[in-house]
Structure 1
């Protein structure tokens, strides 16, 4: 839980989504980010995570794609006109299902999560008990469940902040610029960090 609560791209994206779009949207995006962990669990179970970590080309490609996605999110935040609008009435521009899948995708392309699952989960596997794949799957599912709880709570409470910001429209523009800068900085760091 401490690892999930540590600030990172997923946390910032859930926080930004909840603040700018509202509670339900923040929760759905957060749940999507958590469910993205299932892709890493599956990769760890079948051993592909080890291949990605061993192949500099595969890891670099995943890292660049993840970094470009964060830069794209940051660019869109900068283009925004302060999208802090979480009123209960009116249409929401993005469906909840789409936000859920965006969260899944954002997490699935995060190479740091691949390395986390590769390096952290196996430490808790007891080879003598056999069924190593099943043990990794259980650990991955446990991690996914706790991430869903934490990201869901983050999305919920960030929506409350968004409602407060609704009364201060200039704060929305500032928030978008700050979030955009953070996302672009994280994307560049991800691309250029060895």
Structure 2
């Protein structure tokens, strides 16, 4: 069981990290601009789920193995780059389709958020550097402690990233729905995220 004092120390630290602009927040912003609040919340839920998976893998020791293997690190990174560029291409291609066709299939935003988070090796490094500082092996099962901390990070990230996406969606609705401007904005965000991931170096 996680010590209450440790948990009280972890929560504000986790919220501060959730509030720091990053790839997850920008992705939800892009989803909100392109497809509205519902897509933003689904994307945020996918990202939160991915973050929880990362934390549990770290607790199981698998993330440490991946982080120590440069080839695995690079494979994950380039898969993420390719996926983000594919999303950017899809955003531009959507401009030539009808409004009905442009609506993302149910669950698409969730899957996209999940994959973007899971293919970002920087999350692996962050989890390995941050979460273990609060884990106390003498306090009980380590994996259970990781799960608690992962839930805190996931919940905070879900709310904050979702609200960012909702705000972006409200701005998007002020423009003509399906306008070429929204497509270029969304594609630009995804391309910038891909470029950021492409130049990421393992610490």
Q: 1:28 maps to which residue?
A: 42
User: Residue 151 and residue 93 in structure 1: after superposition, are their counterparts in 2 closer, same or farther (change >3 A)?
Assistant: same
Q: Deviations over 1:136-161 (max 9, x none)?
A: 11111111111111122122222211
When structure 1 is superposed on structure 2, of 124-133 and 102-111 the one drifting more is: 124-133
Aligned equivalent of 1:99, options 109, 125, 144: 109
Q: Do the aligned partners of residues 156 and 193 (structure 1) sit closer, same or farther apart at CA in structure 2, a change above 3 Å counting?
A: closer
82 and 156 in structure 1: CA distance in 2 versus 1, 3 angstrom threshold: farther
Verify: 1:38 aligned to 2:45, yes or no.
Answer: no
The partner residue of 1:64 within 55, 78, 93 is: 78
Q: Distance in 2 between matches of 1:158 and 1:184?
A: 18
Residue in structure 2 matching 1:128, options 127, 133, 138: 138
Taking structure 1 as the reference length, the TM-score comes to 0.83
Over aligned residue pairs, what C-alpha RMSD do you find?
Answer: 2.3
Distance 1:98 1:70 in 2: 14
Corresponding pairs, count: 186
Q: Which residue of 170, 187, 194 corresponds with 1:180?
A: 187
- Corresponding position of 1:18: 32
Gaps of 5+ in 2: 1-14
1:69 and 1:95 mapped to 2: Cα distance? 17
Q: What is the DSSP-based 3-state SS (H/G/I as helix, E as strand, rest coil) of the residue aligned with 1:164?
A: coil
Structure 1 distance, partners of 2:24, 2:162, is 12
Change (3 A) 1:176 1:6: farther
Q: Is the 8 A contact 1:25 1:99 kept in 2?
A: yes
Among candidates 1, 6, 9, match of residue 23 of structure 2: 9
Greater Cα shift, 93-102 or 142-151: 93-102
Q: How does 1:152-167 map to 2 (within 5 A)?
A: 152-166=162-176
**Which ranges of structure 1 fall in alignment gaps of 5 or more residues?**
none
In the other structure, the counterpart of 1:191 is 198
The Cα shift of 1:121 comes to 0.6
| Alignment match of 1:53 (pick from 42, 67, 73) | 67
Residue 108 of structure 1: aligned partner: 118
The ranges of structure 1 where at least 4 consecutive aligned residues each deviate by more than 3 angstroms after the TM superposition are none
- 1:57-92 CA distance string (max 9 Å, x none): 111111111111122222333434289x7xxxx676
